[in-house]
Structure 1
């Protein structure tokens, strides 16, 4: 009975304390693609992605109903980071959905004119930014005026104490007439959130020494469980192990187990994934990171160091040095990365897997129709057979007295070759060890794709090469040789594909530069770089986030300048957030079901090369 009454009371007081218009809610997941397009169309930084912000605590005055309900402390705000624009995951500020959509649009326009985050005065800075945005896009002024007047009308319905009311009037005047207010009245606390403005960056977590369980391998997945991606960004903080006990030990020595009696089994930890972890994480204000070294990840992944030389793939040389783009300094760092060509050590020649043979046979039949056709060239000065038509015309010209002294009376058979070279570059990072679905790992899908694409290209007599890549910091970027342009397709190549295994991380820029150098040596009219990947560029050092994205984009720009056409095929479902910036529109393909990749890749190749079967 008490529980039932408590539930009803909670629902009642929460509804009475509610702020906003839930019936007009608009979600970022629905508006995200439109916002990204508008943000870039308004000259916003193309390297920024639009992501959901986490709720932040504000020291605002709260009415009695909210204090009873325990709400009104945390608010979803908008701000701009170095590599992302953070906006609320949903908006219910205004009573109409159209106005909430316009609010998303206004925040994107405002952020497009904002520079790097600074510590300037928030009141004056936002007023200046509003004026700057309206000067850049005068057509948005009616939209802003409508939103500002509606927001002020809503805020005027809130009854505040005298001191807070004075500050609120100042803020409302700044909304209606940007630039009219330069400072706040002297009042404690913070004003109620202003959804039309951008906020400063959230407070940064204190730098702490690395914990025992802080692994370098934080970007490639841990274990074989399903990875659940939160839609919001959470703030984190380190805490000491609550079970750790320091200080004086007081106990009877008779109670101490002998060495043979002690078994270090930790019954407090569970190897199984918590099915409610995602829901619990969404409800937490902070995600607390324990500094206990005994974690599931440490039990599953024991070591990320390179294997011994006797067990590792064979390096073919000391490696090649390549530059890397430092986007903060806007310059190339010369000889910054070492790319080492590798060859599988224990790769034995093997036939095409039996389960792939029916599909491979079908692909071969289709691609054989695209082989260069042999044609007869007529009216040649020399050849293997006489051209009867040319002989008749020459005889007629002799009778008329206008015959040439060097008649072209022969014909010869020649083959018309396609001037095309394709290099397939496969991502072999540790994330490919994850499961693409209930039956297939990502690395298995990549192997099958290489088997089938090679069969198709060999049947079509196209010139192609295959490589894989992974990395562990800038001085060890592995460039795995599968097939070079000079090698024939056969069981030796199938054996190398079969021997492929997940590597380390994804330093994509260096691998693209090495592939570009390989393609530069092919004097073909059309040169295609086909990249197969399952995630973003990342590595153990600074090569993550915006840094890795910008270096990859710079490497792709260098490839295009060299006359190479890069194209990306990915199974990363978040790829639409960053691949348009890296490869450009219509230069990438997102595969929804990873198991479909082997069959779809040859068809995609035909589209890229402008041919049909």
Structure 2
């Protein structure tokens, strides 16, 4: 009974103290595509993505109802980071859905004009940012004033504030209605009530803590079951001490031990079982507390993914080549920064095409054989295999008229018309390809099947092509696996190498693209195509993560285009729409919804890219 009454009381007081208008709520997942398009159209930083922000603690005055309900402490705000624009996951500030959608639009417009870090007084900085945004886009003036007027009316209807906070609130409302009119705000305890029309400074960075024994500061951790989960929000973390107090003196009676061999120092204070609701609990927490204990669940499963011994590793063909890398923060190219090492699969034996692919391969070969360069007869040649009857008749008539030449072209010969095209297929062989694409196949299996079938199709069409794979482990070891070069014939040797492909390490994409660009640059073809197969975004163990890896990959693709190469990406990453348009362009990538579609789709896609039909 007490529990039922408590639940009803909690719902009642929370509803009475609640802010906003839930019936008019709009969500970022619905507005995201529109906002991304607007942000790019307003000349916003193309490297930024729009993501959900995390609620932040605001030390502001709260009415009694909020104190009773325990609400009003944390608020979803908007701010701009170096690689993302953070906006609330949902908005219910205004009683009209249209106004809440306009609020998303306004925050996006402000972010397109804002710097990554707010300097000085953020109250003054936001007024100037509003003026700057309205000056750049005068068409948003009516939208802003309607939002500001409605917000001021809502704030005025709120519970009466203490005198000092009320004076500051009045000044802030004037600043909202007439940006730039307030050069100073009255002093008052705490912070003002959140202003959803403004961008806030970046959250404070968590304090640093000495490195623990189980943390080398390099590799990330995963849960014990091998599964990872990407949260929609960015969580704040803080370090805490080990509350188990297991590092002190343990007192026990020595006579309680029967023998030294029977004593096993097992830590009974730690539960070895994983909580099934861990992910949901993490979403509900305000902070994620990181304990610097020498014995954590992560340390039980941590593995150093080192390189295998030389006798077990793929065959290294040479010492590799050095390539530059783009540092987007310094806006400079680091020369000779990455080493790309060519590798050949070890113990790969010639193998026939797998039986399960035989029928599909025959169908593809029949379709592509119809696209082979046709042999044609060239007439009126100085030499050839057969006489050209028309040329002989014309020459006889010219002789009667006295107009015959001394070197008549009286022959015809048969020649083949070749397509001036070269294609390099670059496959991502990172560790993520070890994941399961469906109940029966891993991603690496799908990539192998795709290479088998695409090679059969290109060989039947007599196109010039090569195949490579890549993975990496930091900048000094970028593995570039040779599958087929342009000089090798297609056959069982190549099928054996494809069968021997294994998941590697990480995805330093920029260095691999630069190596592929050098290979294609040496091909004197009129059309040169770089086809990249991947299942995720660029990443590595060092700084090659987030925007750093994205910018280096984009710079490598720009270098490829300047060399006359056409890059195109095929991916099964369902979040690829967030970053691939920035890397490859709007029409230069293909997202595959089901990994099983990849083998059959690749040949069709190739025909489309080369401008042919089957």
Place the TM-score, normalised by the shorter chain, in its bin: over 0.9
**Residue 258 of structure 1: CA displacement?**
4.3
User: How far did 1:92 drift?
Assistant: 0.7
Q: Please give the secondary structure, in 2, of the residue aligned with 1:581.
A: helix
- Alpha-carbon displacement from aligned partner over 1:525-577 (angstroms, at most 9, x marks no partner): 11111111111111111111111111111111111101111111111111111
Kept in 1, the 8 Å contact 2:450–2:600? The answer is: yes
Higher mean displacement: 271-280 or 368-377:
271-280
Unaligned runs of 5+ in 2: none
Task: Work out the CA distance in 2 between the residues paired with 1:481 and 1:467.
Answer: 5
Write out aligned runs for 1:536-547 (5 A).
536-547=537-548
Change over 3 Å in CA distance of 1:223–1:562 after alignment to 2 = farther
Output the CA distance in 1 between the equivalents of 2:591 and 2:464: 25
Q: Distance in 1 between matches of 2:321 and 2:598?
A: 32
| SS of residue paired to 1:440 | coil
- Cα contact 2:472–2:504 (8 A) shared by 1: yes
Shift of 1:2: 2.1
Moved more, 595-604 or 139-148: 595-604
Pair 1:64-2:67 in alignment: no
Q: Confirm or deny that 1:134 pairs with 2:137.
A: no
Q: 1:496 to 1:272 in 2, by over 3 A?
A: farther
Report the CA distance shift for 1:600/1:337 in structure 2 as closer, same or farther (over 3 A).
same
Deviation at 1:207, TM superposition (A): 1.8
1:33 matched residue in structure 2: 33
Q: Structure 2 length normalisation: TM-score?
A: 0.96
Please name the residue that 1:24 is paired with. Answer: 24
State how far apart, in whole Å, the 2-side matches of 1:219 and 1:418 are. Answer: 48
Equivalence for 1:121:
121
What is aligned with 1:354? 355
- Name the SS of the counterpart of 1:607 in structure 2: helix
Given that 1:134 and 1:141 are in contact with CA atoms closer than 8 Å, whether structure 2 keeps it comes out as: yes
Correspondence 1:431-510 to 2 at 5 A: 431-510=432-511
Q: Is the 8 A contact 1:220 1:431 kept in 2?
A: no
Answer yes or no: is the 8 Å Cα contact 2:430–2:470 preserved in 1: yes
2:147 corresponds to which residue?
147
Give the structure 1 partner of residue 587 of structure 2.
Answer: 586
Task: Say if 1:321 and 1:338, in contact at 8 Å, map to a contact too.
Answer: yes
**Are residues 453 and 240 of structure 1, via their aligned partners in 2, closer, same or farther at CA, if it must alter by over 3 Å?**
farther
**1:187-586 → structure 2 map (5 Å cutoff):** 187-214=188-215, 218=219, 225-256=226-257, 258=259, 260-262=261-263, 274-292=275-293, 294=295, 298-300=299-301, 302-399=303-400, 402-586=403-587
Q: Pick closer, same or farther for the CA change 1:257–1:234 going to 2, 3 Å.
A: farther
Tell me the distance in 2 between the aligned counterparts of 1:355 and 1:611.
Answer: 28
Deviations along 1:429-466, whole A, 9 cap, x unmatched?
A: 11111122222211111111111111111111111111
Alignment of 1:76-95 (within 5 A): 76-95=76-95
| Paired residue secondary structure (2:161) | coil
In the superposition, relative to structure 1, how do residues 535 and 221 fare at CA in structure 2: closer, same or farther (>3 Å)?
farther
Asked if 1:611 corresponds to 2:612, the answer is: yes
Q: Is the 8 A contact 1:425 1:531 kept in 2?
A: yes
> What's the TM-score once normalised by structure 1's chain length?
0.96
In the alignment, what sits opposite 1:185?
Answer: 186
Q: What is the alpha-carbon distance in structure 2 between the residues aligned to residue 293 and residue 596 of structure 1?
A: 46
Deviation at 1:311, TM superposition (A): 1.2
SS for the counterpart of 2:339 is strand
Equivalent pair of 1:314/1:343 in contact (CA under 8 Å): yes
The 10-residue stretch of structure 1 (267-276 or 252-261) with the greater mean CA deviation from structure 2: 267-276
Q: Tell me, yes or no, if the aligned pair for 2:47 and 2:547 is still in contact at 8 Å.
A: yes
298-307 or 12-21, larger mean C-alpha shift: 298-307
Separation (CA, whole Å) in 2 of partners of 1:40 and 1:57: 31
Q: Which moved more, 1:74-83 or 1:309-318?
A: 309-318
CA distance 1:389–1:35, shift in 2 (3 Å): same
Q: Which runs of 5+ in 1 are unaligned?
A: none
Matched residue, 1:96: 96
Judge conservation of contact 1:222–1:301 (CA < 8 Å) in 2: no
Instruction: Give the match's secondary structure for 2:262.
Output: coil
**CA RMSD between the two structures:** 2.0
Q: Give the direction of change, closer, same or farther, for the CA distance of 1:202–1:464 in structure 2 (3 Å limit).
A: same
Q: Is the 8 Å Cα contact of residues 457 and 464 (structure 1) preserved in structure 2? A: yes
Q: Which moved more, 1:380-389 or 1:551-560?
A: 380-389
Give the corresponding residue for 2:598.
Answer: 597
- The whole-number CA distance in structure 2 between the counterparts of 1:517 and 1:355 is 36
C-alpha distance after superposition, 1:286-314 (max 9, x if no partner) = 12233345555554553211111111111
Mapped to 2, the partners of 1:603 and 1:83 lie a distance apart of 35
Asked whether the equivalents of residues 257 and 263 of structure 2 are also in contact (C-alpha less than 8 Å), the reply is no
Say whether 1:9 aligns with 2:5.
no
Question: Cα–Cα, structure 1 residues 425 and 268, in superposed 2: closer, same or farther, change >3 Å?
Answer: farther
More displaced 10-residue stretch of structure 1: 194-203 or 356-365: 356-365
**Matches of 1:448 and 1:272, distance apart in 2:** 39
For 2:445 and 2:218, locate their aligned partners in 1 and report how far apart those are by CA, in whole Å: 22
How many Å apart are 1:15 and its aligned residue?
1.3
Pair 1:331–1:105, CA change in 2 (3 A): same
Shift of 1:478: 0.8
